[in-house]
Chains A and B, each alone.
Chain A
Amino acid sequence: AQSVAQPEDQVNVAEGNPLTVKCTYSVSGNPYLFWYVQYPNRGLQFLLKYITGDNLVKGSYGFEAEFNKSQTSFHLKKPSALVSDSALYFCAVRDVAAGNKLTFGGGTRVLVKP
């Protein structure tokens, strides 16, 4: 069965510093990986995805993620964090062999301090 792990419940970073949110996954076939962000009392917003090709994926709001097959990781990064990046971040994986379902990690709360 597919699974996603986000090892950090919360990440604290100072504004202007680099931000990294970690994600590891487990699937039986080729992974399709996604990052979403959630602001309070809102649904999830799509940030970026990895399907195939270049291991460095660029997404919305200056975020990027690096796919590492050997480490089964898909860490989200931003070179310079903003206070407005404070939110809940979810990593998700789709294992085509297991159907269309997206399986989400537990989420990581990011707090960017001014």
Chain B
Amino acid sequence: KAGVTQTPRYLIKTRGQQVTLSCSPISGHRSVSWYQQTPGQGLQFLFEYFSETQRNKGNFPGRFSGRQFSNSRSEMNVSTLELGDSALYLCASSATGPFYGYTFGSGTRLTVV
């Protein structure tokens, strides 16, 4: 059973640019969540999608957006990049129901210069 796949693994962008990160969940998982991990802030929840609908949203500016497709694959987009957006972005998928934990991808390391 394939795990959660995130692409690309590494990304270097210039301040002001925009970036799109991709996440393919485990087959059959309809819930996809995104987290930002930084040394100072720990794991910060960005948003969660379920069946193409955003179900939860964290406390991030509108520059951070996401979407989910009918095959449950998800993308997140960050526009007008700032230096502080440099982080490891983690995607996680989950089966339906509160009893299930998340399965995480290896993350995308974004560096903004």
Interface residues of A (CB under 8 A from B): 32, 34, 36, 41-46, 49, 51, 90, 92, 94, 96, 99-107
Contact = CB atoms under 8 A, between A and B. Distances in A.
B42 A104 contact: yes
A101 B48 contact: yes
Given A41-B109, A43-B4, A100 B104 contact: no
B107 A42 contact: yes
A89 to B, nearest CB: 12
B101 interface: yes
Contacts of B62: none
A43 B106 contact: yes
Given A43-B90, A43-B106, A100-B31, A51 B99 contact: yes
B111 interface: no
Contact of A46 (B99, B101, B105): B101
A99 B49 CA distance: 12
B71 interface: no
B60 interface: no
Interface of B: 4, 6, 31, 33, 35, 42-43, 45, 48, 50, 55-56, 88, 90, 92, 94, 98-99, 101-107, 109
B103 A46 contact: yes
B102 A46 contact: yes
Nearest to A51: B99
Contacts of A49: 99, 101
A79 B25 CA distance: 34
A34 B109 CA distance: 25
Contact of A99 (B4, B42, B55): B55
A92 B42 CA distance: 12
A51 B99 CA distance: 6
A104 B42 CA distance: 9
Given A43-B90, A46-B103, A32 B33 contact: no
A100 B50 contact: yes
A107 B45 contact: no
A99 B56 contact: yes
20 contacts: A36-B104, A41-B106, A41-B109, A43-B4, A44-B90, A44-B92, A46-B101, A49-B101, A51-B99, A90-B43, A92-B101, A94-B98, A99-B55, A99-B56, A100-B48, A100-B56, A100-B94, A101-B48, A102-B33, A104-B42
